Each structure stands twice: as C-alpha cells, then as structure tokens.
Structure 1
Amino acid sequence: MQAKTIKSDLLLLLIAAIWGGGFVAQRKGLDFLGPFSYNGIRFALGSLSLLPLVYLNRRRQAPYHGSLPPANSRALLHGGLMAGGALFMGASLQQVGIAYTTAGNAGFITGLYVVLVPLLGMFWGQRPGTGTWLGAVLAAAGLFFLSVTDRFTIGIGDLLELIGAVFWAGHVLLIGWLSPRLDPFKLSALQFAVCSILSLITAFIFESMTLASVCAAWRPILYGGLISVGFAYTMQVVAQRDAHPAHTAVILSAEGVFAAIWGWFFLGEVLGARGLLGCVLMLAGILCSELCNLVIQLRSSAKTA
C-alpha cells in the first residue's frame, strides 16, 4: 500500500509539473494564434482525447446499468453547458491575461482559486473556517507583492488572471456539485467541447486564423490539448485512487511553482525579490487554506465513523 501511495504522489507531482508547463505553452501559442483560436483548438483536442475513455467506461457500465435514461442525458447536456460556460470564461481570461503577464504570475494567481472556492461557498451556506480566512489574508498579501506596483496599480494581465481565478473557483464548485450525479468522463469531454465551440465562435468574430498559423503552433497546441488537458486529467483520476487527499492538495498546489520554474527555463522570465516574496506568501496561503479544510473534513469523517 505504501508503494502505491508513493507512486500516486509521484504521479501527482508529474501532473503539477505538466500543468505548470501549460502556462508556458499558452504563452508560446500566442506567438502564432489569438487567445480564443488557441483555446478553441486545444480544448477540442482535449475533448477528443477523452472519447476513448468515455467509450470504455460506457462498455464497462453497460451490463450493469443498460442505456442512459433520457432524463440523465438531459442532465448531462445541461451540466456540460454550465460547466463548459464557466470553463470558457476562466480559460479565456487566463489566455488573454497571459499575453500581458509572465507564466509564473499567471500560475500563482490562477492558483488562488483554492482559496476562493470556500469563500464563494458562503453563497451556498458554507462557512469558511479560520484556516480559510488566514489563507486568504496570506494570499492577498502575496498578490500585493507579486502584482501591485509601487504606485499601487496592478497590471492588466494580472488583473485578468485574478478575475479568471474567480471563474475557476466557480467552475470547481460547479463540478463538485455535478460530478457525483453524472459520468465524470462524459461531463469532462462535453465541457471541453462546449468551451472549444464558444472559443472558436469568439475567434471567428474577433480573430483571424489561418492553416499556416495553426501548423506553426502545433507544439503548444499538442501540449495544451493532449498533454495538459487530456493526459493530465486522465492521470489525475488514476493517481487519486490511491493518493491521500492531503497529499493531493499539497502536491497539485505546486502548479504555480512549476509555472515559475518553466517560465524561467524556457522563456527567460525572472522574478525579483518582491515577486518571490509574493509567490511564497501566495503558496503559503493556498496550502494553509487547503490543509486546514482537509483537517476539518478528516475530523468530521472520524466523528461520523
């Protein structure tokens, strides 16, 4: 069992590294394509890459559940539309924002969704604990040092990433509500398809896309679509079968750290002392919020056991 846990933790670390590298791919993709064109193609690939899993999962469940009832099909369609719409907003703001900020900044600011999820949960009657509030304070302080200038202004790219983090948090809450009710692979494939369609429609209106530009961007497109979306999502499902929830939260929060590392290695992005302090505070806030919430959940489970 210990060996399985170690394997899962290593796999989660690989996923965090892949997702961190996704911010570099998104920056490189902008060299050839507009933000909506890039998102439209990569989420289409992500959706297509999940179709084999949808098919295999359907075959495995067919002997036990038969065909999907019409009511469930409607619920899946409505859920996919809602989740895809939220995903479209978060991904669009992230992709547009990354054109005006660094991959490291985008990674850390996007990671704030971990703190924002329990705070937004207040609208659904959830009460954030002390750890959540402490994490929010640390994350806000980190955001100040990372993004706010000496003149108390914030760059447009960081601002868009921050607004995007709110939509990512809403998307997490929505998926948390939908996933126990719907097939996770079908829901993921459908939401990626919806996000792709909305992105391509927007690209058709506001951007120009040519076959030559798509071919030139094949590396960041393949990374963002097949590796970051399709492969990493599938591996996350596999890894969390044996991973401890606390390990999952801590390891995946390293996504922002990897974004900064890959941004430095591949794009030559360098954080100053102020930016590094901001990143440390934001990471501390994210970990504090997530770990405190997990401790509360574990205590609650122990009491009901």
Structure 2
Amino acid sequence: MTQRSADLLLLTVIAARGTSYLLAKIGLGGIPPLELLAVRFFLTTLILCLIFHKRLGQMTKGLLKAAAGLGAFLFACMACEIISLTMIASSTAAFLENTSSLWVLLLAAIACRRWPQKHIIAAAVLLIIGIALLTLHGSRLNLAPGELICLAGSVFYAFWILFTARLARQHDPLLLGIVQMGFLALYSAVSTAVFETPLVPTDGTTWGAILALVFICSVFGFTFQPVAQKYTTAEKAGLFTAFNPLIASCLGFLFLGETFSTAQLAGAAAIIVGLVLAAKKGTAA
C-alpha cells in the first residue's frame, strides 16, 4: 500500500468515526453506556473473526499482549466518550474529543525530548481559547463533568494513536485490529457487570444504531486504522481527526436539533483553526 492510499484510507476511516457520536446518542436512548460498548464490540469481534478466521492462527503472544494494551487505551477513550454523551451534546463531545490531534503532536514532541514548534504552541493556545468558549455556561467559563470526561477521552485517544503507530509496524496490523476489538469487548463487558444493570434493547431504533456503530464505526473504522497507520505517520492520523467534529456537528444539527450559541460557535471555530494550523504545518514539517 502506498502512503497516498494509506492516507486516503485513514481519512475515510476517521470520517466514518464522525458518525459515531450521532449513532451513540441514539443508542443511549435504549441501553446503558457501558453495555452499549459491550454489545457493539462483541458483535464487531464476532463478525471480524468470522470474516478473517484464517488469520487467527497467526496470533502470537507478542501480538496478544500488544492488542491487550491497545484495547485498554481504546476502552478508556470509548468509555469516556460514551459516558460524556449522556451529559453533553454530541457536537460538543466531538469538538472536545478531537483535540486529540494536537495532543498527539505535543506528546510526540515530549517523546522526542524537543520543545514544541511555534505553530504547535499557537495551535495549543487556539484550542485552549476554543475549549473555554465552547464550554461557556451562561456567563461562566467552566468545564462541566461531562466535558472534563470527554477531554480525558481525547488524551487516551492520543496515546492510542501513538502506540498504534508503533505496534502496527511490529505486528500484522489487521490481526492487531481484530484482537484489540476482542479485548475492548471484554473490558466493556466486565465494566458493565460491575457498574451497570444490563438491559435488553426492545426497539428497532436502538438496535439500528448499534448495528450501524458495529459496521460503520467498528468493523470498518477502528479495525482498519492500524492497517492505514502502518504506511503513514501517527501525527497525520491525529491531524485527520480535525474532520470529525465538522461531520458530527452537521449530523447533530440535522438529526438531533443541536445548536451553538454565538460564543460556542466562536469556540468551535477557534478549535478548527487550531487543528488546521497544526495540520498544515505538521504535514509540511
């Protein structure tokens, strides 16, 4: 696979994830958050194992260990995202979580023991301003619990991107993506048993949202991101996430009636400008 093809696949994969906020918001109407994750990723793992069952024989202890670690970071991210969606609008969650694109660049700079470049610092300032305006409540600038949880998820997602970039080059990336889905299902199921009272969805709307999450966002999305990242960079994977909030905001406006105040709209714009600034300079660097 060429880098251009990998970039196109990565962009498509991340765009598909932009639909997850709307679909999760709909699904939460009929099932608790952690159980939604458990059902979604159990079905995802089952489907992937049926399709790619021949690859399972190539599994090694090293790959199993890598998948368990990636699955832990991804579960932390997804748990924060789904819980925050019970408290805040899907569009707000999308903007906050996708600040991960900048965290990737900052963490990469720290890992290389170098001071972040000027454009990264400028982008960070824009994101801080944007987050402050986006989380404006009345006349108060503060982060509500749901917004804090969502930001925590963005940090976990940044770590997942960075570790995926490293481990996808050491193992079969497709098999790595499949096995991490299995661990994600396991972690979600255990958390459901500990923290929630499971429910069986009885309406078609909830099941429709769950199945869309399975096929669009999981089977295609998370599974093929390691494949794409084998042929491109972690920084680019983080930068492409700038498209997510735009997609999620449009879907939230069209289907959930979500709107921004003037201050929140300015905050969203500041976040987009910051992400684009980091993306343009980061790609050229």
Give TM-score scaled by structure 1 length: 0.81
| 1:74 counterpart residue number | 61
Candidates 110, 113, 118, aligned match of 2:100: 113
Structure 2 vs 1, CA of residues 201 and 119 (structure 1 numbering), >3 Å: closer, same or farther? Answer: same
Is residue 2:165 matched to residue 1:192? no
Match of residue 87 from structure 2: 100
Q: Shift of residue 76 of structure 1?
A: 0.7
Residues 68-112 of structure 1, C-alpha deviations (whole Å, 9 max, x = no match): 4xxx71111110111111111110011001111111111111111
Query: Which residue, 34, 44, 47 being the options, matches 1:46?
Result: 44
Task: Give, in whole Å, the separation in 1 of the partners of 2:216 and 2:243.
Answer: 18
Corresponding residue pairs, total: 281
User: Residue 270 of structure 2 aligns with which residue?
Assistant: 281
- Give the 3 Å change call, closer, same or farther, for CA 12–79 of structure 1 in structure 2: closer
Whichever residue aligns with residue 145 of structure 2, its letter is I
Match of 1:136 in 2: 124
Distance across 1 between alignment mates of 2:86 and 2:148: 12
The amino acid that maps onto 1:135 is A
Distance 1:248 1:168, change over 3 A: closer
Q: Deviations over 1:217-249 (max 9, x none)?
A: 211111111111112346767888999999977
Partner Cα distance (2:270, 2:128) in 1:
8
Instruction: Check conservation: 1:90, 1:164, Cα contact below 8 A.
Output: yes
TM-score norm. by structure 2 comes to 0.86
Question: CA, structure 1 residues 142+219, in 2 after alignment: closer, same or farther (shift >3 Å)?
Answer: same
Q: Structure 2 vs 1, CA of residues 118 and 81 (structure 1 numbering), >3 Å: closer, same or farther?
A: same
1:194–1:213 Cα change, 3 Å: farther
Equivalent position to 1:29, from 27, 30, 42: 27
Shift of 1:183: 0.9
Amino acid at match of 2:108: G
Q: CA deviation at 1:47?
A: 2.5
For residues 157 and 241 of structure 2, what CA distance do their matches in structure 1 show?
Answer: 15
Larger Rg: 1
Equivalent of 1:203, from 192, 215, 218?
192
For residues 48 and 264 of structure 1, the distance between their equivalents in structure 2, rounded to whole angstroms, comes to 33
State the SS of the aligned residue for 1:101: coil
The structure that is helix-richer by fraction is 1
- Secondary structure in 1 aligned to 2:187? helix
Deviations 1:183-240 (A, max 9, x none): 1111111111111111111111221223345866211111111111112346767888
Structure 2: how far apart are the matches of 1:238 and 1:178? Answer: 11
2:165 pairs, out of 160, 163, 176, with 176
Distance verdict in 2 for CA 1:156–1:73, change over 3 Å: same
> Which deviates more, 126-135 or 108-117?
126-135
Q: Tell me the CA shift for residue 291 of structure 1.
A: 2.5
**Residue pair 1:16, 1:258 contacting (<8 A) in 2 also:** no
- Give me the CA root mean square deviation: 3.2
**What are the ranges of 5 or more consecutive residues in structure 2 without an aligned counterpart?**
none
Tell me the distance in 2 between the aligned counterparts of 1:247 and 1:154: 28
Shift of 1:33: 0.9
* SS of equivalent to 1:99: coil
Q: 1:126 to 1:226 in 2, by over 3 A?
A: farther
Checking the alignment, whether the CA contact within 8 Å between 1:40 and 1:200 is kept in structure 2 is yes
One-letter amino acid matched to 2:30: F
Note if contact 2:104-2:234 (Cα within 8 Å) is conserved in structure 1. no
| 8 Å CA contact 1:146, 1:279 repeated in 2 | yes
Change (3 A) 1:216 1:207: farther
Identity of aligned residues (%): 24
Aligned runs of 1:146-185 on 2, under 5 Å? 146-149=134-137, 150-185=139-174
Query: What is aligned with 2:257?
Result: 268
